Amino acid sequence: MTIAVGDKLPDVKLTKVTESGPEQVQASEYFAGKKVALFSVPGAFTPTCSAKHLPGFVEKASELKAKGIDEIACTAVNDAFVMGAWNKASGSEDVTMLADGNGDLAEAVGLVMDGSGFGMGKRGQRFSMVVNDGVVEQLNVEQPGQFEVSSADYMLGKL
């Protein structure tokens, strides 16, 4: 079943990319007590993700924070080293990378896509959500192959 507005984010383990290396975090602890703009991409370094999705959140970080967002986080079914390299190449200190290497978050929120036709296996769908103290306040899930409702601009318009 797909997560919905008002649901608590599942308490899965993620890997936060830090300057000193990968750090395991529990979702319940990471999202506690703050308002997080979380967005999911099918994969680091993939075309739409690198050209539009991540750059949009980097560019709109100050506007999102001005609207009450405490932290911006990106997740993908990639390992922490790939997410860290992508952040160095295209991201910013304004976006925290949360690796969902085993797809636990994608599966737990019911937003898994099958990218095996592209040699990618199971991945997380493209989506964005606002998570306030662990509870989903806004959920924007893309249709396959689309990039419209999960963007930073769309999220800003809904805040």
Neighbours of 134 (CB within 10 A): 19
Q: Where are the beta strands (DSSP E) in 1-94?
A: 13-18, 21-26, 35-40, 71-76
> What CA–CA distances, in Å, run from 34 to 38, 90, 124?
12, 25, 23
Write the Ramachandran bin of 45: left for phi over 0, alpha for psi from -120 to 50, otherwise beta. Answer: left
Residues sharing a CB contact under 8 Å with residue 94, sequence separation 6 or more, in sequence order:
57, 58, 61, 62, 72
- Which of 9, 36, 49, 83 is flagged as catalytic? 49
154: helix, strand or coil: helix
Residue with tokens 């560019």: 59
Q: Is residue 74 annotated as part of the catalytic site, yes or no? A: no
- Kindly report the backbone phi and psi dihedral angles of residue 131, in degrees, each rounded to the nearest multiple of 5, phi listed first: -115, 115
User: Catalytic positions, please?
Assistant: 49
